[in-house]
Amino acid sequence: MSYINNIDLNKLPNHVAIIMDGNGRWAKKRGFERNIGHQYGVVSATEVVEAAREIGIKFITLYTFSTENWNRPKEEIDALMKLLVESIHKETERLIENNIRLLVIGDINSLPVICCKQLQETMDLTKENYITTLVLALSYSSRWEILNAIKNIAYDISKNKLIAENINEELFNSYLTTHNIPDPELLIRTSGENRISNFLLWQIAYSELYFTETLWPDFKKDDFFKAIVDYQKRERRFGKTSDQIANNI
């Protein structure tokens, strides 16, 4: 029986973020080159995004390429960028058909021109879609994002556009690349690694964390549904007691 039958559609997280980990290890276990693992990882990403749309999750963010990933061998980076362009081009029609909007967060200007062009084209074509928003974190790291926000705030203060005393959480949020995206209620990481890897550190302050041993290319729809079921079993207190939550205090 699929885990989808155990999901309460009235208690869905509004936003699910995923650290898609394990492509290289999946390929190595099978005697393949790492790039083959990334290709199979795209298949899992497509299936999981469709699963999110199927049950009505509004936002899903995929940690696609971190700023630290630029330190990988050039041939792997080149293959990843090529795969990114091909995948986005191939999936654009499916996104439109399924009413899925594409957004991108991260240091987009550091990506190859052809990647930026394809991403912008797909974002333009899907900007009116509203059922689910797919957010790709590309050339992204949370420390980069936070430092970039601080630099922009400091610049605006220097130009008398902002008063330091007025800085609060809401204002700081407005300087982040995720300023138009709600914080994730659920963060999933695959492959058995129990760490955050510089991903959405500000935004996941109160997210539920779900770790699985499953390598990303093996993570399919029902694995996603299983994570949602696990999330729905948890009590989200935000610093309150269980009694306060029960009595809506």
- What would the pLDDT profile of 138-185 be if each residue is shown by its tens digit? 999 999 999 999 999 999 999 999 999 999 999 999 999 999 999 999
| pLDDT at res. 249 | 63
The model's confidence at residue 245, banded by pLDDT at 50, 70 and 90, is low
Specify the pTM. 0.93
| pLDDT at res. 240 | 59
CB 128 within 8 A of CB 56: no
The model's confidence at residue 235, banded by pLDDT at 50, 70 and 90, is confident
| Cα gap 52→46, rounded to integer Å | 10
| pLDDT at res. 26 | 97
Say which residue the tokens 């300087």 belong to.
175
Structure tokens at 68: 């630290």
52 exposure class (CB count in 10 Å sphere: 0-12, 13-18, 19+) = buried
pLDDT tops 80 at residue 238: no
Q: Is 188 helix (H, G, I), strand (E, B) or coil?
A: strand
| pLDDT at res. 241 | 65
Spatial neighbors of 99 by CB under 8 A, at least 6 apart, are: 53, 129, 130, 131, 132
- Could you give the residue numbers annotated as active site? 21, 69
| pLDDT at res. 110 | 92
Q: State the SS3 of 9-34.
A: CCCCCCEEEEECCCHHHHHHHCCCCH
Could you give all domains of the chain from N- to C-terminal order, each with its CATH number? 12-141+183-234 (3.40.1180.10)
